[in-house]
Amino acid sequence: MSFTPSFLERDPILFPDEPEKFKPERWLGPDGAKMKRDSITFGTGTRTCLGQFLARQVLRKTLACIVYNFDISAWDGEKDAAEGYRYLVTYPRCEQDGTFLCRIESRFRAIC
């Protein structure tokens, strides 16, 4: 017996509130532990990924490094256009569900 990960990760029984929608907050709160238990991102059972703990640690350190080294603020189209900022949006298209536009500036200026 086997399963298809893409179908399981979008199962309306496991994810009753819009399984196709990007909602990271569903993994938080009291139901978060149950949701994490149902996740099969790194496989399950005896064939689970050996590098899953390393991968999670690398992701945590990468996120911490980004938050520490950059000032991240919400995007204000009118203000930023007046100041002369231009943006390159590669993915996803604007106004899609789950899109968060932000401005990222270096917190520490390079010393040459």
Task: Report whether pLDDT(17) > 60.
Answer: yes
Contact call for residues 72 and 49 (beta carbons, < 8 A) = no
Rounded to whole angstroms, how far apart are CA atoms 87 and 103? 9
Task: Report whether pLDDT(94) > 80.
Answer: no
Cα–Cα nearest to 27, from 13, 43, 38: 38
Rounded to whole angstroms, how far apart are CA atoms 69 and 104? 10
Contact call for residues 104 and 72 (beta carbons, < 8 A) = yes
pLDDT for res 112: 47
pLDDT for res 79: 74
Q: Helix and strand tally (H, E) in the chain?
A: 4, 2
Cis peptide before 92 (omega within 30 of 0): yes
Q: What's the pLDDT band for 89 if we cut at 50, 70, 90?
A: low
What average pLDDT does the structure give for the chain?
Answer: 77
pLDDT for res 42: 80
Rounded to whole angstroms, how far apart are CA atoms 92 and 23? 15
